Chains A and B, each alone.
Chain A
Amino acid sequence: MYDIIIVGAGPAGLTAAIYARRASKKVLVLEAKSYGGQIINTLDIANYPVEAHISGFEFATKLYNQAKDLGTEFIFEKVTNINDKEHEKEVVTTKNTYKAKAVILATGADNRKLGLDNEEELVGKGVSYCATCDGAFYKNKNVAVVGGGNTALEDALYLTDIASKVYLIHRRDEFRGEDTTVSLLKEKDNIEFIYNSNVTKLNANDRLESIEVTDKDGKTKTIEVSGIFVAVGRIPENENFRRLINLDDKGYVIAEEDCNTNVEGIFVAGDNRKKEVRQLVTATSDGAVAATNAIKYINNLK
């Protein structure tokens, strides 16, 4: 039996592991894919204290090594369920069941999809959720970016240097992202802003060929693009815990800054928690708080 099982090896989970190991707890981290979480997709982190610039890969690898060197155990299996047996929690994965006194849910968030019929089958054939990963394939081609937040704006900016033309499609008439990025974009001559509109169809013949865009009055037009970069936000990965844990209407775990969930001994940390700011610093901060409270909880058992 472990003291603490942490679900998810992103920044929140790895930080929780560091705190728990430094308190000499027996810690297991269960991760579905690979360590690091979402941040591995970014080339440059410029807002994490101390390091002015660091790549997401380097950040993730350093954090992982720090947790591992302190004696954290890692198993790469996806968690599908959790059973609460009061002072014992059963964490069920696709392959095994593990037991712990306390659990920290640090499952983060994943890309929100547009929700169009053939979207999934066109991933890798024109549909992408990561401009910095896939942008290079669209040299001198027409592409669209969908969204209005920072990710969409930065994706669009990045793509204006690669693609011949970028259409930025936003469902409102104003962007949520930073003004400085908006003004940089407005200086580019190969970008067209399409406001008050949604993407309603992906037209493909094996590969994406064009998209249908519908404005708020219901008028549609077809735009020829070979790529569409979807940046319409993220959704928390909490569905597997819904039976046990209270979630808000958007699927985030309901918990205050203390990271306590409605179940005693189960804590939450990172982007999957209901909160205002979802960044590395707030994820690592949650990790520290959740681990500290989990340690306290364990020490008070018996």
Chain B
Amino acid sequence: MALVEINKDNFDSKVLKSESMVLADFNADWCGPCKMLKPILESISNENKDIKVVSINIDSEDELAEAYNVSSIPCLVLFDKGMEVKRSIGLVSKDAINDMIGGK
């Protein structure tokens, strides 16, 4: 299943005010490693129903990217109750993401 696209209008409700933890994938269309990460994130999303995996395009959502000091992509930020709790930069394995979110 495709990841939910986040923009500055739904960021508050879908990410910050989310009941569950949110894994936000900051990415761009021109970034090769980001494209490699997409299918991995989709399978993480399918296998971990208690966590929301969302996508944030840094070109259209440059304000969000700036607010969270993103300056290298792909960049994964894990949010819990509106707070950033973990961050990882670059292409990472599925196992590493599972470790990050405490999944299986």
**Partner-B contacts on A (CB < 8 A):** 32-36, 40-43, 55-57, 60, 76-78, 94-95, 123-126, 128, 130, 132-134, 136-138, 207, 227
- Distance in Å from the Cβ of B103 to the closest Cβ of chain A? 15
| A40 contact from B28, B33, B70, B71, Cβ within 8 A | B33
8 interchain pairs, CB-CB under 8 A: A33-B92, A34-B37, A76-B95, A95-B95, A124-B71, A124-B75, A134-B71, A207-B71
Closest to B59 in A: A136
Bound-state Cα–Cα, A34 to B28, Å: 18
- Distance in Å from the Cβ of B91 to the closest Cβ of chain A? 6
| A32 contact from B35, B36, B58, B93, Cβ within 8 A | B93
Contact A34 to B91, CB < 8 A, known contacts A41-B33, A57-B35, A133-B31: yes
Task: Please state if B69 and A207 are interface contacts (CB–CB under 8 Å).
Answer: yes
Bound-state Cα–Cα, A57 to B39, Å: 13
Task: Please state if A134 and B72 are interface contacts (CB–CB under 8 Å).
Answer: yes
Task: Please state if B72 and A33 are interface contacts (CB–CB under 8 Å).
Answer: no
Task: Please state if A57 and B32 are interface contacts (CB–CB under 8 Å).
Answer: yes
Bound-state Cα–Cα, A136 to B30, Å: 10
Bound-state Cα–Cα, A227 to B72, Å: 10
Question: Which residues 40-84 of B have a CB within 8 angstroms of A?
Answer: 40, 58-59, 65, 69-73, 75
Given contacts A125-B71, A133-B32, A137-B72, 18 further A-B contacts (CB under 8 A): A32-B93, A34-B36, A35-B36, A36-B36, A40-B35, A40-B36, A57-B35, A60-B36, A123-B90, A124-B87, A132-B30, A132-B31, A132-B32, A133-B31, A133-B33, A136-B59, A137-B70, A137-B71
Task: Please state if B30 and A43 are interface contacts (CB–CB under 8 Å).
Answer: yes
Bound-state Cα–Cα, A94 to B37, Å: 20
Task: Please state if B73 and A134 are interface contacts (CB–CB under 8 Å).
Answer: yes
Task: Please state if A41 and B72 are interface contacts (CB–CB under 8 Å).
Answer: no
Bound-state Cα–Cα, A41 to B33, Å: 6
Task: Please state if A128 and B33 are interface contacts (CB–CB under 8 Å).
Answer: no
**Partner-A contacts on B (CB < 8 A):** 28, 30-33, 35-37, 40, 58-59, 65, 69-73, 75, 87, 89-95
Task: Please state if A123 and B72 are interface contacts (CB–CB under 8 Å).
Answer: yes
Ranked nearest first, the 10 interchain pairs of A and B with the lowest CB-CB distance are A124-B89, A124-B72, A40-B32, A137-B71, A57-B32, A34-B36, A134-B72, A57-B35, A33-B93, A56-B32
Bound-state Cα–Cα, A219 to B41, Å: 48
Which chain B positions have C-beta within 8 A of A137? 65, 70-72
Bound-state Cα–Cα, A52 to B68, Å: 39
Which chain A positions have C-beta within 8 A of B58? 136
- Distance in Å from the Cβ of A112 to the closest Cβ of chain B? 16
Which chain A positions have C-beta within 8 A of B28? 136
Bound-state Cα–Cα, A94 to B28, Å: 31
| A128 contact from B36, B72, B91, B93, Cβ within 8 A | B72
Which chain B positions have C-beta within 8 A of A126? 71
Which chain B positions have C-beta within 8 A of A124? 70-72, 75, 87, 89-90
| A42 contact from B32, B70, B93, Cβ within 8 A | B32
Which chain B positions have C-beta within 8 A of A78? 93
Which chain A positions have C-beta within 8 A of B91? 33-34, 40
Bound-state Cα–Cα, A136 to B90, Å: 15
Bound-state Cα–Cα, A132 to B35, Å: 14
